[in-house]
Structure formats: C-alpha cells, structure tokens
Structure 1
Amino acid sequence: MHPTPGMMDHLIITTLKRAGITRGQGTIGWHDLRRTYGSHLAMRGVPLKVIQELLGRATIELTMRYAHLRPEVKQDAVKLLDGPVKRHATYAQRDQEAAAQK
C-alpha cells in the first residue's frame, strides 16, 4: 500500500504534536521542512547547484533564495586566495603515474 497525501499529512501533524512543535499561524507542513532542509544545506556551504538538485528544483533561480543565508561565503572565497595554489596533474601525467605503478 502506497501512502496517500492525506496519510503523509497525518504523519507530520502527529509527529509535530508529539514533539511539541507549533507555529504561530497555521501548521508546519512538508514545504516548511523542505525549505528548512535547503536553508541548513546553504548555511553549511553546500553549493547552490547541489541544493537545487537535492530539492528537485527545475531552475537555479528558486534555489537562489538560500544564497543570502551564509553571507561569509564571499569572505571564504576571497580567503582562498591567501592559500597556496593547488597543483592539479594533467591527464597525461596521471596516465604516466598510473602506468608507472603497474
């Protein structure tokens, strides 16, 4: 038996009541939890494109709502310039190293 939307709503309402979680107006729903999930991902520095994919958003524009939640992102980006440049091997170098290990 597959859960129906009504069954899922009942599940969240029951769970929130047991946890003592309320909201000033209306009830907390799945959309609220989805937004909270996206917000917490953004605050932890997850790239917006990844958040878009995890939330199943069709466009990045809707996901951009979460971009303001971590203002230090710009500072973190500029601080990267203070560190050493990471050297990335070329494909040819990787192939040579792999062949040498065999």
Structure 2
Amino acid sequence: MGEAAVELLYGVPLLPLQASGAAEAAGCGALLAELKQLWGEIGKSREERERTVRELELECMRVYRRKVDEATTERALLHQSLAAGEAEIAALTAALGADSSPQLKVNTH
C-alpha cells in the first residue's frame, strides 16, 4: 500500500520527498484529509476506502507513465535532430574540403 493509502487509512502524515514538492505534498495532504473526513461522514467501509485508494494510486501511476513516455519521445526527437545537424555539418565540411577529423562529441545519455 502506498504512502497516500497509509495517510488516508491510518492518519500517518505524508512527508514531502523533496523541498520543491512541499507545496504539492501539502495540497495533496489537505485533499486526503478532506477525503478521509468525507468518507467518515458518509460511512465508507474500510474495504471501499482501500479500493478507492488503490484506484487513485493506479491513476497516478498512469499519469506518471504517460509523462515518462512523453519525455522519452521528446528526448528521442532531440537526439534525432542533433544527429541530423551533425550530418549536415559533416556534409558541409566535406563539401568545403575541410578536415573533418575534429568532430563534436555529444553525450547521448
């Protein structure tokens, strides 16, 4: 069970992983507290709460996966563009008859 589930079900506060995420963690914490209170008021069972938290965690994972996939695609496009630019430089250098031995080395990681 994830940190969000622990906080929702057992009242253990979430600790922000990074200082920059403190505002987001506080916002999520407030929403989790509100959800917990609402669940208490409407009588949601422990099983229903756990199921809902699992659904929230899965949805969150899907969002993160989509963002990772988008960033991976963007990186691949940038590498492709860089390779095309390097090829163009090599072609221009060759056309000018210049020595192409000193080449640019680009970190691909």
TM-score category (smaller protein): under 0.3
Higher relative contact order (CA 8 A, sep 6+): 2
- Scaled by the length of structure 1, the TM-score of the pair is 0.26
The structure in which a higher percent of residues are helix is 2
- Scaled by the length of structure 2, the TM-score of the pair is 0.25
Q: Which has the larger radius of gyration?
A: 2
